[in-house]
Amino acid sequence: MGGRNGPEYSGNEQKDILLKKTESLFLLLEEIWQSNPGHKESCYPIQYYIDWAERKGIEIPWKKWATENGYWPLDKSKNDNQPENPKKIKTLLLMLAGAYKDASIDWNARSIAKKIQGTVDRAGGEIKDLQTIRDVLKEIDTALN
């Protein structure tokens, strides 16, 4: 029988209700996110998602707790591998695509990473990891689409 504040549910029923509410909220957020064609699967920094949610009026329930306990704002030094600004990264990739196209360089060619490494060295920079170059080159096609 129900209590003063509504029906009483068992522990499993409460979990099921919470799970359904969470799933509904997730589906709603996913629909809002995908309604912007600019949101592609990509590596956005955590701050980007939080800013996006707050602009949409979506409360971040754990943010106050994280701030009070010193977990927020994030320590940027722990996120050095994430791009600061996805739009800026895409612009840089498109600029690379344009420069490579004008120079008749195929960024999908097998040996191109080593050649780029040499070019960067001659320009006064240094990229030690060829895999990083390969990973960036793969992102050019994604940026063009």
pLDDT tens string, the chain, 145 residues long: the values are: 455 566 777 878 887 887 888 878 777 877 877 777 666 655 567 777 788 788 888 888 888 888 887 777 766 555 555 556 778 888 889 999 999 999 899 999 989 999 999 988 898 888 888 888 998 898 898 888 8
Residue 79: name the closest of 46, 127, 113 by CA. 46
82 contacts: CB under 8 Å, gap ≥ 6: 43, 44, 45, 46
Question: What whole-number distance in Å separates Cα of residue 37 and Cα of residue 17?
Answer: 32
Residue 86: name the closest of 135, 30, 43, 55 by CA. 43
Q: What predicted TM-score, i.e. pTM, was given to this entire model?
A: 0.43
